[in-house]
Amino acid sequence: MGLSLEEIFEEFADLDREDQSKYLLELGDGLPDFPSALRTDSNRVYGCQSQVWLSADVAGSGETARLRILADSDSNIVRGLIAILQSAYDGLTAAEILTFDIQAVFRQLNLQQHISPQRRNGLRGMVERIQSIAGRHAVIASALAAENVSQSAPLPICPAPRFDALHVRRQFPVLNRPLGDGLFPVYLDSGASAQKPACVIAKEREVEEQYYANAHRGTYQFGVRIDEEFESARQLIADFIGAQSAHEIVFTAGTTVGLNMIASGWAAPRLQPGDEILTTVMEHHANFVPWQQVAIRTGAQLKLMPLTPDGRLDATAFDTAFTERTKVVAVTAMSNMLGTINPIREIARRCRRVGACLVVDGAQSVPHFPTSVAADDIDFLVFSGHKTYGPTGVGVLYGRRSRLEEMEPVIFGGHMISEVTIDRSVWSSPPAKFEAGTMPIVQVIGLGAAIRWLQQIGLAAVHQHEEELTRQLYAGLREIPDLQIFGPAPEHRGGIISFRMAGIHPEDLAAILDVHGVFTRHGHHCTMPLHNYLNISGSTRVSFGAYNTSEDVQAFLRALHKARQQLLP
């Protein structure tokens, strides 16, 4: 049995700052053993540099059951923090945990003084996980009470929280504000831009209100704090996409800028007439026009991989598509119109065989399913903050270290140089080489908060959830006469479906859906070559985010039926 919270308060009060840090380490030493069976991936808490596992066991049953927090870490300071959390929460019921003011404990101990921003993130991650476990227990307990199910058997060791779409949705302020007519928004346009959870909005506000300064400039307190936060976002993102090092993460203004940087800075200086750039007709203009322009400038040829009739890349044509002349392969991991998920690992294998550089547009994939640039052997990967539940104006360009060394900067100015004389300049090493001028500092840190949030709710679980919504929507759309769905069956796509209804203009449809509080996108979705290929001028697109629910799918289908009745003669 550990110390009580009061005992810890008393000890802390008598110590100076240095001894308080030592005391934290001692608390960590005294932490009870953590069962090795619980050291699982699903019990991992992300957000801290060290490894942390957290679970809970339960004494008693129903609403009076008391939870005991079990946790461990490979860092002694974090073990000390765990000891404080255990003392604070020990023996409380789920309902008591949910209302317990843990911040007051942290304030009383003045914990901010002792721990780095990354540790603060980790601490917040542990608290959120504890609250999530308590939340599930509270729900289970009240369901048992409501159904009057026997409560004699104690609840088992608490599993890691399952994906709970309603719980996720509640974290998005904009989705919980009624529209003028009292309806809540049914937001089905995450492919264009995702909404932000409260923790991201709060993080941006925290930076602005508490320690904003330019990054990599000042050595005063704000400057140091900003640098820590900025660089810890870089590290978090490197881990999130499986990069080997944070040095491979370049912050940009978004996917479009990242792709242009690669096309102009890596491809244009090395392509020659006769070389081939291989891409697809399903690309967003951001991953099409830069390559088209590089081809025009260098005399290289732009080639397209053929599609199957259902809108997938035709793997049987890979043998002829990839040649010794293929120098760049630029492909989206997931189409923003067809929803198709492309076989990146297989494409990477083909690239290696012919020595081509693989550029992946991850704008629609990174926010929706796990990515590993190492496992997929990707040379360049780009994505946008605003589609990843983060702020606008920030994006990520991952480049394999050797590729970033080869790539030329295309924007010149402060921070990206190591030396400037009247005649010449020497570049800094990546990523600084590509980060000239003042970066979108608050947005980078906000994106870090968004990625941490995604890790905490679990990207694999988000993917599964969006797959389920996609299946439901696909089945519902299939029942509507004269409705054409573009792209493959649900098992080959992510959470995007585009369609057309005979006799109804997508713009008219969007307007009626809007009246019902259902927000979708219509038009060519920045994929004109694809729309030309499909011989259509526009389509209606539904795209899901982690916060969408089955009820959203039903609301959309109900509104679609009404629109059909209204618009068809």
* Catalytic residue annotation: 526
Q: Does 248 bind ligand PMP (CB under 6 A)?
A: no
132 makes contact with ligand PMP (CB under 6 A)? no
Q: Are 212 and 442 in contact (CB under 8 A)?
A: yes
Binding to ligand PMP (CB under 6 A) within 299-338 occurs at: 332, 336
Kindly state whether residue 286 participates in binding ligand PMP, applying the rule CB under 6 A. yes
Whole-angstrom distance, CA of residue 24 vs CA of residue 15: 11
User: Which of 253, 268 has the CB closer to ligand PMP?
Assistant: 253
10 Å CB burial of residue 406 (0-12, 13-18, 19+) is: middle
- Residue 260 is a binding residue for ligand PMP (CB under 6 A): no
Residue 525 CB, nearest approach to ligand PMP (Å): 7
Nearer to ligand PMP, 78 or 360 (CB): 360
**Smallest separation (angstroms) from ligand PMP to the CB of 295:** 19
Q: Which stretch binds ligand PMP (CB under 6 A): 234-242, 248-256, 467-475, 551-559?
A: 248-256
3-class secondary structure for 477-534?
HHCCCCEEEECCCHHHECCEEEEEECCCCHHHHHHHHHHCCEECEEECCCCHHHHHHC
First-to-last C-alpha distance (Å) of the chain: 75
Q: Does 522 bind ligand PMP (CB under 6 A)?
A: no
Q: Which residues make beta-bridge pairs with 399?
A: 380
CA-based nearest residue to 364, from 397, 386, 392: 386
- If binding is defined by CB under 6 A, does position 364 make contact with ligand PMP? yes
The residue range among 12-20, 31-39, 144-152, 251-259 that interacts with ligand PMP, by the rule CB under 6 A, is 251-259
Show contacts with ligand PMP in window 367-406 (CB under 6 A): 384
252 near ligand PMP, rule: CB under 6 A: no
Q: How far is the CB of 235 from ligand PMP (least distance, A)?
A: 23
- DSSP string over 191-242: TT-----HHHHHHHHHIIIII---TTS--SHHHHHHHHHHHHHHHHHHHHTT
Name the residue nearer to ligand PMP (CB basis): 43 or 364: 364
Taking residues 7 to 46 in sequence order and writing x for each that binds ligand PMP by CB under 6 A, - otherwise, the string is: ----------------------------------------
Rounded CA-CA distance 515/38 in Å is 49
Rule CB under 6 A: say whether 450 interacts with ligand PMP.
no
Establish if 190 lies at the interface with ligand PMP (CB under 6 A): no
Interface positions with ligand PMP (CB under 6 A):
191-192, 254-256, 284, 286-287, 332, 336, 361, 363-364, 384, 526
